[in-house]
């Protein structure tokens, strides 16, 4: 079994398994070259291109896992929702979903009808090339998707999505329940085509109060992962105030931790009967190697008390990162 799967199963591994969120992307010159002239979401839906981009960081850095090159808004596009990714900005929706009528209109789409053919083909090409290296499939958590869909685009505090929870809880639960099924379908397509781990990204959950997280968000995230039949990682940013809830009542096999909390403290909060993933500070990728090296060693040390530790950043690779820094982290984790 690969070290990543062993860590997720709670086994101690000789080498700390490592991969990076956004390892496929603008930090790699070979990615920037391939992407010239193709829009982000079109690249995701071109199977040989998506497969090649997924494989690039595995070849270069020798990471312990590939993460499927796609985006959290892809299943919405496949369901027929009009969305684009604006470079330097993020997902933008032609028709924001703000009123009860908007919610009724979008949730009338049956997630089972989503056309997954391009995803299936891309995952098949990728896993055939990967051999024993696991492929991590992923989806956006309902709240993070809603943060874009309700607003119509990126926002700082996700005021409209958080407002809907209290102004019209019925519509909120209808929308979040539907997003949960859309993301679940996306995970199932990746699973059925050969992915061996899944990660749910709730990148913007840190804008929620613990009470709102528990009442309006956790049940929908749990439904997206429950019974998926693969080891799962649940990741959020700024979720320190409700980190134990990120376990989703034992449904998640690993909890992602951002850079704000020392990993040993996070382990004390979530318990040592679940694996953790993290939590190198992405800002330190800019530091000279000896400074970054000391930080990575400290993270590995603090992770020793966990049931299993997967080394990663506290959030995605910033586009301006020198990719050699990532390669050095992998060599260090593998004890080279
Ligand atoms: O991690 C990986 O290497 C796998 C691929 C991946 C992408 N997006 C590719 C991508 C994954 C796992 C995602 C998830 C995603 N997408 C999240 C959750 C993870 C996170 O970073 O918090 C979110 C919030 C999105 C929405 C999104 N898509 C944003 C905010 C952006 C950045 C916009 C920009 O240009 O700065 C995207 C576009 C995107 N998704 C890029 C990549 C490589 C950059 C597009 C490009 O290269 O032109």
Residue 324 lies in a domain: no
**Exposed/middle/buried for residue 241 (C-beta within 10 Å: 0-12, 13-18, 19+):** exposed
CA 27 to ligand 1 center in whole angstroms = 12
61 Cβ closer than 6 Å to some ligand 1 atom: no
Q: What is the pLDDT of residue 53?
A: 98
Cα dist. 105→126, 159, 162, 295 in Å? 35, 22, 20, 49
Domain range enclosing 168: 30-279
| CA dist., res. 232 & res. 54, Å (int) | 19
Residue 294 lies in a domain: no
Residue 55 lies in a domain: yes
Could you give the 3-state DSSP secondary structure of residue 142? helix
Q: What is the pLDDT of residue 12?
A: 86
Residue 255 lies in a domain: yes
DSSP code for 216: I
90 Cβ closer than 6 Å to some ligand 1 atom: yes
CA 73 to ligand 1 center in whole angstroms = 9
**Number of folded domains that form the chain:** 1
Furthest-apart CA atoms within the chain: distance in Å? 58
Q: Which residues of 86-96 are buried (b: 16+ CB within 10 A; e: fewer)?
A: eeeeebbbeee
Count of residues for the chain? 336
236: nearest Cα among 252, 254, 258:
258
Q: What pLDDT tens digit does each residue of the chain (336 aa) get?
A: 999 999 999 998 999 999 999 999 999 999 999 999 999 999 999 999 999 999 999 999 999 999 999 999 999 999 999 999 999 999 999 999 999 999 999 999 999 999 999 999 999 999 999 999 999 999 999 999 999 999 999 999 999 999 999 999 999 999 999 999 999 999 999 999 999 999 999 999 999 999 999 999 999 999 999 999 999 999 999 999 999 999 999 999 999 999 999 999 999 999 999 999 999 999 999 999 999 999 999 999 999 999 999 999 999 999 999 999 999 999 999 996
24 Cβ closer than 6 Å to some ligand 1 atom: yes
Residue 329 lies in a domain: no
Are 195 and 230 in contact, with CB atoms under 8 Å apart? yes
Q: Ligand 1, residues 22, 77, 84: which to mutate, most atoms within 8 A of Cβ?
A: 22
Could you give the 3-state DSSP secondary structure of residue 316? coil
**By alpha-carbon position, which residue is closest to atom 3 of ligand 1?**
22
Q: What is the pLDDT of residue 99?
A: 98
Q: What is the pLDDT of residue 285?
A: 98
138 Cβ closer than 6 Å to some ligand 1 atom: yes
Residue 291 lies in a domain: no
Q: What is the pLDDT of residue 163?
A: 98
207: nearest Cα among 161, 175, 168:
161
Active site amino acids:
22, 26, 35, 71, 148
Q: Would you state the structure tokens that stand for residue 257, as one six-digit string?
A: 């931790």
**Dihedral, 315, 275, 61, 88 alpha carbons, nearest 10:** -20
Residue 236 lies in a domain: yes
Residue 300 lies in a domain: no
Query: In which order are the strands placed within the sheet that holds 275-280?
Result: 66-67, 135-140, 197-202, 232-236, 254-256, 275-280, 309-313
Q: For residue 61, what is the domain's CATH number? A: 3.20.20.210
| Beta strand spans in the chain (E) | 66-67, 83-86, 90-93, 135-140, 197-202, 232-236, 254-256, 275-280, 309-313
């Amino acid at each position: 079994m690969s070290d990543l799967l062993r860590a997720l199963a709670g086994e101690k591994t000789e080498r700390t398994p490592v991969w990076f969120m956004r390892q496929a992307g603008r930090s790699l010159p070979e990615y920037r070259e391939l992407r010239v002239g193709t829009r982000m979401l079109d690249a995701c839906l071109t199977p040989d291109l998506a497969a090649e981009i997924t494989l690039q960081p595995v070849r270069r850095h020798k990471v312990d896992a590939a993460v499927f090159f796609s985006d959290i808004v892809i299943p919405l596009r496949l369901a027929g929702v009009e969305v684009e990714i604006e470079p330097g900005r993020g997902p933008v929706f032609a028709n924001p979903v703000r009123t009860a009528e908007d919610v009724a209109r979008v949730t009338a789409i049956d997630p089972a009808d989503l056309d997954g053919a391009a995803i299936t083909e891309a995952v098949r090409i990728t896993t055939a090339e990967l051999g024993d290296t696991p492929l991590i499939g992923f989806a956006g958590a309902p709240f993070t998707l809603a943060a874009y869909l309700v607003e119509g685009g990126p926002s700082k505090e996700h005021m409209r999505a958080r407002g809907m929870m209290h102004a019209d809880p019925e519509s909120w639960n209808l929308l979040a329940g539907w997003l949960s099924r859309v993301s679940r379908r996306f995970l199932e397509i990746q699973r059925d085509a050969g992915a061996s781990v899944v990660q749910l990204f709730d990148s913007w959950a840190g804008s929620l109060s613990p009470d709102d997280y528990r009442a309006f968000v956790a049940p929908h995230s749990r439904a997206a992962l429950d019974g998926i039949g693969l080891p799962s990682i649940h990741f959020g940013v700024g979720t320190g105030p409700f980190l134990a809830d990120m376990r989703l009542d034992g449904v998640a096999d690993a909890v992602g931790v951002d850079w704000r909390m020392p990993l040993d403290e996070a382990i004390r909060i979530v318990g040592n009967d679940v694996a953790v993933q993290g939590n190198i500070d992405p800002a330190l990728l800019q530091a000279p190697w000896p400074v970054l090296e000391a930080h990575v060693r400290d993270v590995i040390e603090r992770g020793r008390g966990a049931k299993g530790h997967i080394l990663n950043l506290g959030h995605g690779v910033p586009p301006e990162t020198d990719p050699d820094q990532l390669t050095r982290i992998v060599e260090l984790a593998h004890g080279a």
